[in-house]
Amino acid sequence: MKIRLISGTAYIAILVAFFCLKIFVPTVNGVPYGDFCFDVLIYAFALIGTFEMLRAVKEKTVKAERAIVYAFAAITIPAVALCQWKWGNGLEIIGVCTLIFALALLSLLVIIHDKVTLESLGVSLFSAVYPTLLLCLLVLTNHMGGVPRLDKFALDSRIMILLIFVVSPCADSIAYVFGRYFKKYFPKKMSPNLSPNKTVIGGIGGLVGGILGAVALYFIYNMPALVGSYDRMAVVLPVYALIGLSAAVATAFGDLVESSVKRKLGLKDMGNIMPGHGGVLDRIDGTLWATAVVYAAFACIHFMY
């Protein structure tokens, strides 16, 4: 427990440090150095997570496939960050990089046809989607600007990053509390085949935690703007609560996805870089899915306003 607490604290400290860099490192001549600092953290997640994934599926893939997957992680994250900042077309770059990656994998059917199988290609494709492709959405989130018509509520990349990295642990924490203290009254399992320790009551606690985390962030982050703007608060606050609820659902689902992957691979943890927690993928599993939800929500807000 002590080692788990220490490594968990170190992880939180790293997140806080990089988020502070994002906030306080200035933009010079239009270059958002602070945003690029946070991209470094995302890049580390992608490289380490891909390494963990490829190590786990090593027996199911060939060396050339693993090299292409790792190259995809190494190239795509910085390419998306650069193009999203420079031209605002990061989403298109994700599509281009994914297409090139898929074609490179398919070419192996000809180049080394005696070694590559359709199963190994599928495993390689999955190893690129999880985590690199999902982390690309975090890069887009990191570079998303504010909504001009709602600038008083600071709907920008900072609050989006906070929602992703605060709502998920809030959901996990409250889910743990609900599961620990109410499990004996409501013992029904959420998914006994994938994660025997997760209960339905714990899942409900996670939803409550997600909503509370999002609402708390809303008030803390937007406190200066709320003075005299309670009519707008009544409109925007439910949006935050809905995002928190959705992110909590995504977090729980991401945990189950990770549990399923590890069960199919016969692993307890994806890595050991964080003693007591496992690897990077074990730590960011729910975060990956929460990112997709938060990014989609704010993309819709941008579209509507």
Whether the model pTM is above 0.75: yes
Predicted confidence at residue 232, as pLDDT, reads 58
Predicted confidence at residue 49, as pLDDT, reads 97
Predicted confidence at residue 147, as pLDDT, reads 62
Burial class (CB in 10 A: 0-12, 13-18, 19+), 34: buried
d(CA 301, CA 293): 12
Predicted confidence at residue 173, as pLDDT, reads 84
Predicted confidence at residue 15, as pLDDT, reads 94
Q: Are 140 and 35 in contact (CB under 8 A)?
A: no
Question: How far, in Å, are 33, 57, 109, 207, 220 from residue 213 at the CA level?
Answer: 28, 36, 48, 10, 11
Predicted confidence at residue 168, as pLDDT, reads 85
Instruction: Kindly state the tokens that stand for 283.
Output: 């730590």
CA 247-49-287 angle, to 5 degrees, is 10
Predicted confidence at residue 225, as pLDDT, reads 54
Q: Phi and psi at residue 197, in whole multiples of 5°? A: -85, -15
Q: What are the boundaries of each domain within the chain?
A: 1-143, 146-305
Mean pLDDT by 10 residues, the chain (305 residues): 78 93 93 96 97 95 97 97 94 97 96 95 96 96 76 74 90 86 82 79 91 88 59 71 93 91 91 85 92 91 76
Place of tokens 């890595």: 271
Instruction: Kindly state the tokens that stand for 70.
Output: 């790792």
What type of residue is 276?
Answer: G
Predicted confidence at residue 125, as pLDDT, reads 96
